[in-house]
Amino acid sequence: MKKVRILGIESSCDETSISVVEKSTSGKIKILSNIVKSQLNVHENFGGVVPELAARAHSEVIDKLILMALKKAKIKFKNLNAVAATSGPGLLGGLLVGVIAAKTLSSVLGIPFIAINHLEGHALSVHLEKKIEYPYLLLLVSGGHTEFTIINKFNNYKRIGTTLDDALGEAFDKTARLLNLGYPGGPEIEKIAKDGNENKFKLPKPLIHEKNCHFSFSGLKSSIAQTVHKNKINLKFKKDMAASFQKTIVDILSIKTEKAIEIFKKTTRRKSRATIVIAGGVAANQYLRASLKKLEKNNDCEFFFPSIKLCTDNGAMIALAGLERYERKLFNKLTFKPRPRWPLDKKAEFMKGKRTIGI
């Protein structure tokens, strides 16, 4: 087996990340470097990601980060076999910065350009740390996505559940904004929820009685907004609301995850234990991790949480997806256009805006 080194570029949202991943002659996969530059300071005053500012911030640092990633990996441009870049879904300006950098390197170095679906990166990232067998169930919970997808094998993905409106990270961020907490909201909510009364406020759990594993979070935000208007916003209120919100979210996730496991087992005709991988920024939430872990006993399943650095957006997962594609010669032309909307499961129906599923 020949040694393979792939450069991975991630710039779909508010992190610029460049990584070099290597597959050794023995087949071992190793992250040689994984540099992540967050744009938190760019967006914090706006309470959310501002697309134009994100694109500018990516373009300011991308060249430097590519050089840093090579230096950290102790390799030169000529040691790269291919360059892979997130080409969607995501914010177009940011995608363009990463894709153009990758295409430029590809044409100058004479190596393949590989367009990566960001969600495929999240779906495969677990293999950077652990040997797990296909098929497994992915629950992706980030600022832009919330979905259950069956990862049958490489390049064979079936989405079985998604959000009809806000992504889970978005729900955390919007709730944090209503409570005048910092950005991003997820970590802030988790922090102050620790000393709050999680049973203080009863919040809606949309779609909970439906037999599918779809989500809807926008009603929660409206309900919290109404409660905020009716109450005095002191620290006690914030703590209790954050705790109640977090508990409601985890209740919803637990019920829907049990449904998803059932569907996963039926679809894959799996008799043995099901493996569930939780990825995305919200998977950093310790309360969520501990609560989902409790489902293992009654559902004959095992949860796996990639380390936080690989849960959130990173170039290593893009380089890894690039490696898988490189080995199968799945290259892309330099005319490939970034795709702001790009479902991982091509057959998955577009669900945003649907009010109810009714099954």
Q: Nearer to ligand KG4 by C-beta: 190 or 240?
A: 190
Shortest CB 263 distance to ligand KG4, Å: 24
Query: Residue 78: enclosing H or E segment and its boundaries?
Result: none
Residue 310 binds which one of Zn ion, ligand KG4, none, with CB within 5 to 8 A depending on kind?
none
Contact string 284-323 vs Zn ion (x = CB under 5 A): -----------------------------x----------
For residue 30, give the 3-state DSSP assignment: strand
Q: Nearer to ligand KG4 by C-beta: 54 or 284?
A: 284
Residue 90 binds which one of ligand KG4, Zn ion, none, with CB within 5 to 8 A depending on kind?
none
DSSP states along 290-304: HHHHTTHHHHTEEEE
Residue with token string 């879904």: 89
In sequence order, what E strands does 174-294 have?
A: 274-279
Shortest CB 86 distance to Zn ion, Å: 9
Q: Nearer to ligand KG4 by C-beta: 127 or 174?
A: 174
In sequence order, what E strands does the chain have?
A: 4-10, 15-23, 29-38, 82-88, 113-117, 136-141, 146-153, 156-162, 274-279, 301-304
Written as six digits, the tokens of 225 are: 């907004």
Shortest CB 141 distance to ligand KG4, Å: 8
Give the strand pairing for 15-23 and 4-10.
Answer: antiparallel
Strand partners, 83: 7, 113
For residue 28, give the 3-state DSSP assignment: coil
Q: Nearer to ligand KG4 by C-beta: 13 or 276?
A: 13
Question: How far apart are the C-alpha atoms of 168 and 59, rounded to whole Å?
Answer: 28
Shortest CB 200 distance to ligand KG4, Å: 19
Residue 166 binds which one of ligand KG4, Zn ion, none, with CB within 5 to 8 A depending on kind?
none
Q: Nearer to Zn ion by C-beta: 121 or 196?
A: 121
Question: How far apart are the C-alpha atoms of 207 and 293, rounded to whole Å?
Answer: 23
Residue 185 binds which one of Zn ion, ligand KG4, none, with CB within 5 to 8 A depending on kind?
ligand KG4
CA angle 333, 338, 343 (to 5 degrees): 105
Q: Nearer to ligand KG4 by C-beta: 4 or 171?
A: 171
Shortest CB 142 distance to ligand KG4, Å: 3
Written as six digits, the tokens of 283 are: 């998977």
Binding positions for ligand KG4, rule: CB under 6 A: 13, 142-144, 169, 172-173, 184-187, 190, 280-282, 284-285, 312-313
Q: Nearer to Zn ion by C-beta: 22 or 313?
A: 313
Q: Which of residues 139-198 bind Zn ion (CB under 5 A)?
A: 142
Residue 243 binds which one of Zn ion, ligand KG4, none, with CB within 5 to 8 A depending on kind?
none
Does 10 bind Zn ion (CB under 5 A)? Our answer is no
Q: Nearer to ligand KG4 by C-beta: 13 or 31?
A: 13
Residue 285 binds which one of Zn ion, ligand KG4, none, with CB within 5 to 8 A depending on kind?
ligand KG4
Q: Give the C-alpha distances (Å, rounded to integers) separating 225 from 44, 60, 80, 90, 222.
A: 21, 37, 51, 28, 5
| 168-195 CB burial, b ≥16 within 10 A, e <16 | bbbbbbbbbbbbebebbbbebbbebbee
Instruction: Give me the residues that bind Zn ion (CB under 5 A), please.
Output: 142, 313
